[in-house]
Amino acid sequence: MNYVTEVYNNLAEKYAYEPEFLQACKEVLESIKPCVDANLDLYRKNKILERITTPDRIITFRVPWVNDNGEAMVNMGYRVQWSNAIGPYKGGLRLHPSVNQSILKFLGFEQTFKNSLTGLPMGGGKGGSDFDPKGKSDREIMAFCQSFITELYKYIGPNEDVPAGDIGVGAREIGYMYGWYKKITGDFSGVLTGKGLTYGGSLVRTEATGYGLLYICDELLKSHGMSLKDKVVVISGAGNVAIYACEKAMALGAKVVSVSDSNGYIYDKDGIDLKLLKEIKEVRRARLTEYQKARPTSVYKEGKGVFKLKCDIALPCATQNELDLDDAIALVNNGCIAVCEGANMPTTLEATKYLQQHNVLFIPGKAANAGGVATSGLEMSQNSLRLSWTFNEVDEKLKNIMINIYKNIEATCKKYNLGNDYVAGANICGFEKVVNAMLAQGVC
């Protein structure tokens, strides 16, 4: 049996109860086969595939906190430290009731290759909790964050593991976590990224994932003789990534006609009113029904539906497996040219294959949404230098990183005769750097 299949089958047997993790492994392992075949003896002898699909460690812990009624609450906390082959563990923290070990393992595994693609010295990790921030008071959020860090602080550090935000974790949560880390350790250092601008945060970090997504989308279109000008774009999600993807898409001349949350979606034929969206989501933390109330010419529909809308470009920016085969068929039938993933693994394996087979240009999340972690890397650099760069300086570096990611993926596609299979290009490109570091460092 070939090495890739053998390793995947073993994982599938051992982790049958971790579907998201297996999905991520399947995608990566199948697509790196040309590179594995070219180095078969070396990789087999060093158990490269077995080692890279096994995290360095998983830390799990109880997070007790007290709600506003004085009642004790308990959640599970996790940190998956996947690989520090090329730098300290780096990756976000997710607070969402769906969080479990399978989801955090898929995210930590993906993060390792994503961080490698940025060209910055960052290893991969991910963490979070099944705590649901929705409807909680500021005091409850603070109580949870302090309890979470009371345990996690033992395992993180500016040269060890540097967490950041993800779903449910933004500036407010990072602030509470940073304050408590400092309180316990007395150490003012770059242990978290996504910090506020008055205490070590970087300009552009808030915008970075969404902006980066559009920089790479723009580069993709340019290299195929097109541009974003006058393109109709659908976006799912209405959080950090979606909002700044919307902002940059509009700045580059596209019209964004949708956003969504976990209850439903907005279709705004005149183009999303970004100021209104920010006010509702960033200030009031309210639902999208409020958008429709304030803008009666838009339409609100319950449930899924964003990818059934007619568009030129689709940017899934909410969560994993939100774009399925039915959506992919609708996108192709509606003439969609490109899908770039703002979220992590938002497209199912079948949907990805369908889009690629029907010549829809497809950039996977580990490349397309790498701008967030790349700018976290730039925040780490500024913290080490004890300097703050201007908005334009950081934005320019972000843009160059995204363009380089695209160029490197394209070069990998050429090297291995992969055509426009940017999934394989991104996986092989991210994988090769990590593996070369592993080989140089011996069995550890």
262 binds, among ligand NDP, ligand 2IT, none (CB under 5 to 8 A by kind): ligand NDP
Select the residue interacting with ligand 2IT from 83, 193, 206, 292 (CB under 6 A): 193
Which of 126, 136, 231, 255 does the annotation list as catalytic?
A: 126
CA 54, 58, 181, 174 dihedral sign is positive
Closer residue to ligand 2IT, CB minimum distance, 272 or 345: 345
Task: Kindly tell me which of 163 and 425 has the beta carbon lying closer to ligand 2IT.
Answer: 163
How far apart are alpha carbons 384 and 99 in whole angstroms? 32
Separation CA 32–CA 425 (nearest Å): 8
- Clarify whether 126 is annotated catalytic: yes
For ligand NDP, give the closer residue by CB, 4 or 127: 127
Hey, which bits of 84-136 come out as E strands? Answer: 89-95, 124-129
**Nearest distance, CB of residue 321 and ligand NDP, angstroms:** 9
- From candidates 262, 334, 381, 388, binder to ligand NDP by CB under 6 A: 262
Binding residues for ligand NDP restricted to 271-300, rule: CB under 6 A: none
Please state the separation of Cα 31 from the chain's center in Å.
20
Question: Binding residues for ligand NDP, how many (CB under 6 A)?
Answer: 22
Return the percent helix, strand and coil in the chain, to nearest 5. Answer: 50, 15, 35
Say how many Å lie between the first and final Cα of the chain, rounded.
27
Q: Kindly state the tokens that stand for 294.
A: 């304030």
| DSSP summary character for residue 226 | -
How many Å apart are CA 80 and CA 83, to the nearest integer? 9
Would you call 433 exposed, middle or buried from its count of C-beta atoms within 10 A (0-12, 13-18, 19+)? middle
Q: Residue 22 or 169: which CB sits closer to ligand NDP?
A: 169
Site for ligand NDP in 308-327 (CB under 6 A): 317-319
Q: Is 372 in the site for ligand 2IT (CB under 6 A)?
A: yes
- If 0-12 CB within 10 Å is exposed, 13-18 middle and 19+ buried, where does residue 45 land? exposed
SS3 of residue 233 by DSSP = strand
Out of 323, 331, 373, 409, the only residue in the binding site for ligand 2IT (CB under 6 A) is 373
User: What SS3 state is found at 125?
Assistant: strand
Q: Which residues on adjacent β-strands are paired with residue 426?
A: none
Report the partner that residue 91 touches, choosing among ligand NDP, ligand 2IT, none (CB closer than 5 to 8 A by kind).
ligand 2IT
Does the footprint of ligand NDP cover residue 344 (CB under 6 A)?
Answer: yes
Site string (134-173) toward ligand NDP, x via CB under 6 A: -------------------------------xxxx-----
Least distance in angstroms from the C-beta of 413 to ligand 2IT: 23
Q: Scanning residues 55 to 114, which ones bind ligand 2IT (CB under 6 A)?
A: 90-92, 111, 114
The Cβ-side half-sphere exposure at 96, using a 13 Å CA radius, reads: 20
φ/ψ of 397, rounded to 5, equals -65, -45
Site for ligand NDP contains 101 (CB under 6 A): no
Residue 239: contacted member of ligand 2IT, ligand NDP, none (CB under 5 to 8 Å, by partner type): ligand NDP
Write out the two tokens for 130: 């099944």
Q: Does 177 contact ligand NDP by CB under 6 A?
A: no
Give residue 42's Cα distance to chain centre.
31
Interface with ligand 2IT includes 166 (CB under 6 A)? yes
Cβ at position 410, least distance to ligand NDP in Å: 21
Q: Which stretch binds ligand NDP (CB under 6 A): 24-32, 117-125, 234-242, 377-385?
A: 234-242
Let me know: does 56 contact 84? Beta carbons within 8 Å: yes
Smallest gap, in angstroms, from Cβ of residue 48 to ligand NDP? 26
Q: 408: number of CA atoms within 13 Å, CB side?
A: 21
- The contact set with ligand NDP (CB under 6 A) reads 165-168, 209, 237-242, 261-263, 317-319, 342-344, 369, 372
- The contact set with ligand 2IT (CB under 6 A) reads 90-92, 111, 114, 164, 166, 193, 344, 372-373, 376
